[in-house]
Amino acid sequence: MANSSSGMAISDECKLRFLELKAKRVYRFIVFKIDEKAQQVKVEKVGEPSESYEDFTACLPANECRYAVYDFDFTTNENCQKSKIFFVSWSPDTSRVRSKMVYASSKDRFRRELDGVQVELQATDPSEISLDIVKQRAL
């Protein structure tokens, strides 16, 4: 199955939920977790369309790594309504070294499975994924 050079396997649920977020906009965000025993990336939580960016960041654990996607709605400088899908690689400094290595080595393969992501963010603490930074990256 998966080895250290190819990264983890990706559950079908991950791909399905991402397609639902991208095409149908039934979720605001999805948080993914690597199940190291099963050697697989799984969906940990989905956020309802009504949930805020603060709800999303509150789902990222302080001491554990995660991947996440967030569907960000914004208004351009020309006053146009737009949305961009952000991929977040969350790897806090306080997480286990092994966990950081597993997430780092699996990120590129997992990210490629999510066709339609427009912006990628890597963060080790909440300040690196503040709403201001997301807005700057969206524009």
Q: Which band of pLDDT confidence, cut at 50, 70 and 90, is reported for residue 16? A: very high
Of residues 64, 61, 84, the one with CA closest to residue 74:
84
Place of tokens 């503040």: 130
By three-state DSSP, how is residue 114 classified?
coil
Cβ neighbours around 47 below 10 Å, total: 21
> Is pTM beyond 0.85 here?
yes
17 vs 7, which has greater pLDDT? 17
Give 88-120 pLDDT, tens digit per residue: 999 999 999 999 999 999 999 999 999 999 999
Q: DSSP code of 75?
A: E
d(CA 62, CA 90): 10
Domains and CATH numbers, the chain: 9-117+127-138 (3.40.20.10)
